[in-house]
Structure 1
Amino acid sequence: MEKLLEVEKSVASNSVLISDLTLRIDAVEKYSENTAVKSGKMDSQLSSLFAENKRLWDKVDELDAYKRRWNLRISGLADVLQSSIDVAHRLGPKLGYTRPCTIIVQFLSRSHRDRIWADARRSEVLKQKKIRISEDLTQRTKEARNKLWPLVEKARKEGRRAGFRGPNAVVGGKRISADDV
């Protein structure tokens, strides 16, 4: 009989513990559901913030690139056309004693800049004197072009027209973004 009473007490005690555990499990379950809802909202907000951040960086880069459209970088030359230049700056330290440092030039008008850019690309004199003129690109545009260069190079080797327009590659008339690669 005593053993039976002990078993009954044990069952009663276990019933109370089970009931208490059930209540705690229900509370944890509700907390977990609330946390999942909050997490879902935060994921949505985070996605929205990432999209907005990308849009804002693209806009900043676009504005920076637009401002740089008046600029050219000139390497290996110390004196340039003074009448069409608004501002010229030397970039970085002198590259040894054999070459002057790179100069960045902002022209008074885009037409001056575009004419010099077009002439420089075909100039044998500049090539002989090792004077190099390049566009003043933003860092993001340089990175995008570097990422897309293998596609452009491959297309050119295949005889197709390929080049760059801003940060995008243009291969066979189709614009390709670095994000697409």
Structure 2
Amino acid sequence: MSSKKSLAISRNIVATDDHEYARMEMDSTEKAKRKDPFSPAKITPTAKRQVTVSDGNEGMNAVLDAIKQLTEKVDTLGTQLQQNSTMLSSIAKAVEFNAAEIKDCKMQLQSAVRDVTAVKKDNAELMERVLELERYKRRWNLRIRGLKENDGEDIRVVVADLLVKISPSWSSSINQIVDSVHRIGRREGNITRHVIIQFTQRWHRDALWRMTKDHAICRELRISFIEDLCKADRETRAALWPKIKEARDAGKRAFFRGGAGYINGQRVT
């Protein structure tokens, strides 16, 4: 019996010790929780700020100032919008006016272009007609190239004597055959100027031209009788001369008639 009692007593002691140990652990845990600075129980509540009457007045004044500034900005913006609207209206009117002016200018330009085209056409036709008239008038003329020029000469007498030597039958009527005689341009240095003879009748001019083609007096005086061409025909001949010369060297029949060149009967340009 004594041993059983001893065993029970020892169990009670152990149980009591376990309870004491557990209580000690709980006490230490609660102490640790109370000492933890981050524990919610330790957070001190923030004191609420008391709103005073002066703070309310200041806020209201700030709001009123903001509203006033916004109103001024809106008014300024409205004025600017009105000015911009007026400016845009003026610009629109100016653009409309310029568009009308441009349209009118285009119409006038088109009319002017048509007029200029017509004038150019008429001018070209008139120039051709004047050129033909000049060519026709010059068919009564011959030029003498290489006739020696002397100071104080009477060129009409000199030419009349020359023509009588070439065609003795004209001696009695030379003044009726020859209309006018003169040299071309101003005298410059030792340059021998051409002489133009204008005949009263064209057949006299053609007859004399044929007689002078291979006349002894022309060879002796080293002169030649040539056509009196207008400037346009002279320029055309100068441009065609290389082709005419090349054709002649090749044995082809090449010649000029007026301002036109012909090779084997075909006109060349």
Aligned pair partner of 1:114 in 206, 209, 234: 206
Structure 2 counterpart of 1:174, which letter? R
- Unmatched 5+ residue regions in structure 2? 1-69, 149-157, 165-169
Scaled by the length of structure 2, the TM-score of the pair is 0.55
* 8 Å contact kept, 2:244–2:254: yes
1:33 and 2:33 correspond = no
Structure 2 partner of 1:165: 257
Structure number with higher relative contact order (C-alpha < 8 Å, ≥ 6 residues apart):
1
Aligned residues: 175
Distance in 1, matches of 2:93 and 2:190, equals: 82
- Unmatched 5+ residue regions in structure 1? 177-181
Secondary structure at the residue paired with 1:121? coil
Pair 148,34 (structure 1): closer, same or farther in 2 beyond 3 Å: farther
Aligned-residue Cα RMSD (Å) equals 3.0
Structure 1 partner of 2:223: 131
Q: Following TM superposition, by how much is the alpha carbon of 1:97 offset from its aligned partner in structure 2, in angstroms?
A: 8.2
Q: Following TM superposition, by how much is the alpha carbon of 1:69 offset from its aligned partner in structure 2, in angstroms?
A: 0.9
1:7 and 2:77 correspond = yes
Q: Whose strand fraction is larger, Structure 1's or Structure 2's? A: 1
Structure 2 counterpart of 1:56, which letter? L
Distance in 1, matches of 2:191 and 2:107, equals: 66
Structure 2 partner of 1:179: none
Pair 174,139 (structure 1): closer, same or farther in 2 beyond 3 Å: closer
Distance in 2, matches of 1:121 and 1:90, equals: 22
Scaled by the length of structure 1, the TM-score of the pair is 0.77
Q: Following TM superposition, by how much is the alpha carbon of 1:72 offset from its aligned partner in structure 2, in angstroms?
A: 0.7
Distance in 1, matches of 2:94 and 2:133, equals: 57
* 8 Å contact kept, 1:88–1:103: no
CA-to-partner distance for each residue in 1:80-128, whole Å, 9 max, x for gaps?
Answer: 13446232312156787896x6432233433332232233233465234
Secondary structure at the residue paired with 2:261? strand
Distance in 1, matches of 2:129 and 2:234, equals: 16
Distance in 2, matches of 1:134 and 1:89, equals: 15
